[in-house]
């Protein structure tokens, strides 16, 4: 395996993971996306362990097997892996590029029956809706409603700078995102 080791976290490519799956190596794929995302598409055999519920979901991980942590693009997987390492887990690798890279490489995924939009799509919809609502309300009722789009814009800038998204974290806790 050509995993790159950085700060205690090992990284693997989707090609390396696919080869290990084909060779039936003793591994586990840990999908840290939210339940609704996992329900829409996943790698066959992956275990759902949402980052937003780390304390509960990390109990599903077998400490004796090598864990390949995957999310949509990689950021949540790194965060999850860091927390696993802090809690004494070993043999943890983050899959670079996440499920997006897996799909782009043409590797198979299982499609689920979940009709819930991805968190990214929910964030775009909610942000757009709040901006539009603020503009309409400012024309109809009071220009002070322009504060709403300003807050959304500031939140998006903060999300980009810090590579975290408060709106996504809030949406992940919504009831429709809890069960497939």
Which residues, at least 6 apart from 149, have a Cβ–Cβ distance to it below 8 Å? 130, 131, 134, 135
Distance CA 115, CA 103 (A): 19
Structure tokens given for 92: 């943890």
Distance CA 150, CA 37 (A): 29
Which residues, at least 6 apart from 144, have a Cβ–Cβ distance to it below 8 Å? 138
Local structure of 16: helix, strand or coil = helix
Cα pseudo-dihedral 3, 9, 14, 16, rounded to 10: 30
Q: Taking Cα atoms as reference points, which of 90, 72, 70, 88 lies closest to residue 80? A: 70
**What does the DSSP assignment read for 64-77?**
TSEEEEE-SSSHHH
Residue 112 and residue 39 in contact, taking contact as beta carbons nearer than 8 Å? yes
Residues designated catalytic: 71
């Amino acid at each position: 395996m050509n995993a790159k080791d950085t700060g205690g976290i090992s990284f693997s490519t989707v090609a390396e993971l696919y080869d290990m799956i084909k060779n039936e190596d003793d591994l586990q794929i840990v999908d840290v996306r939210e339940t609704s995302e996992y329900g829409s598409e996943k790698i066959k055999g992956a275990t759902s362990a949402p980052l937003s519920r780390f304390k509960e979901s990390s109990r599903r991980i077998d400490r004796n097997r090598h864990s390949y942590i995957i999310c949509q693009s990689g950021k949540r997987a790194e965060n999850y892996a860091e927390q696993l390492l802090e809690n004494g887990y070993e043999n943890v690798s983050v899959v670079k590029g996440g499920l997006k890279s897996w799909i782009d490489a043409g590797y198979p995924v299982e499609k689920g029956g979940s009709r819930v939009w991805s968190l990214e799509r929910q964030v775009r919809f909610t942000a757009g809706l709040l901006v539009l609502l603020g503009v309409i309300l400012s024309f109809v009722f009071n220009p002070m409603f322009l504060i709403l789009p300003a807050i959304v814009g500031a939140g998006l800038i903060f999300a980009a700078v810090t590579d975290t998204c408060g709106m996504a974290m809030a949406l992940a806790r919504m009831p429709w995102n809890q069960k497939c």
